[in-house]
Amino acid sequence: MHFVAFSTLTHAAVVPTGDHLALLSIKSMIKVDPQGVMASWNHSMTNFCQWQGVTCGSRHHRVTHLNLSSGGLVGTLSPYVGNLSFLRVFVLHNNSFSGEIHPEIGRLFRLRELRLENNSFTGNIPATIMNCSELQVLHLGYNNLVGKIPDGIGLLSMLSFLILPGNILEGGIPPFISNLTLLEILYLGNCQLGGSIPDVFQELPNLIMLAVPGNNLTDSEF
């Protein structure tokens, strides 16, 4: 009778799954990393919760914060970011990301802060953003986004900061703004918006900053 020893299997390489695999996919889309921000992001046994820019929850060890701001990164955003289902804060500002913001961003149901400003993202603001029902901060300013501001943003009842300046948007200031009763800052400057300013701002009791300069709005005071 022959016995087969399986103890050596305990030393086999760990296959990346879940958040680990999603992070590696994000890294794979980065073409230039001048500061070595992602040097620690690899296939080794290193716990991905210790990678630069990554923060995990202490209980479930899932990624809750991803902050890669001001890293000089050049590339596109992987759609696999949508697999980081525990993500609450996602920050990529001050880099050189291009391409679209994939609709998979709408799979981040727990997301509270999305900051992608000062990049070169193109295409439309994904309509699926409406699924991020806990979103409080949405900053997509100073990209090359086009199209209308999605009506679904009006369903984000927790939103307090809506900042979209420096894009190439169509239409006017959407009337759904009146639904955002927790809104504190609305900044839509230099977006090529037209039409009149809707008479809804008096319905926003928490609004402390309204800035819509550099558009084609009919109300001259702005």
What's residue 218's pLDDT? Answer: 82
What's residue 155's pLDDT? Answer: 96
State the DSSP string of 162-214. EE--SSEE-S---GGGGG-TT--EEE-TTS--EEPPPTTGGG-TT--EEE--S
CB atoms within 10 A of CB 181: 12
Q: Residues with Cβ < 8 Å from 9, sequence gap 6 or more?
A: none
Q: Residue 222: inside a domain, yes or no?
A: no
Sites in the chain below the pLDDT cut of 70: 1-17, 45, 219-222
What's residue 183's pLDDT? Answer: 97
What's residue 15's pLDDT? Answer: 43
Q: Residue 3: inside a domain, yes or no?
A: no
- What's 178's domain CATH number? 3.80.10.10
Question: One-letter amino acid identity for 52?
Answer: Q
Q: Residues with Cβ < 8 Å from 184, sequence gap 6 or more?
A: 160, 161, 206, 207, 208, 209
The dihedral sign for the CA sequence 67, 119, 77, 164: positive
What's residue 219's pLDDT? Answer: 63
Q: Residue 1: inside a domain, yes or no?
A: no
Number of Cα atoms under 13 Å in the Cβ half of residue 18: 12
Q: Residue 5: inside a domain, yes or no?
A: no
Q: Residue 4: inside a domain, yes or no?
A: no
Name the domain count of the chain.
1
Domain that holds residue 20: 11-217
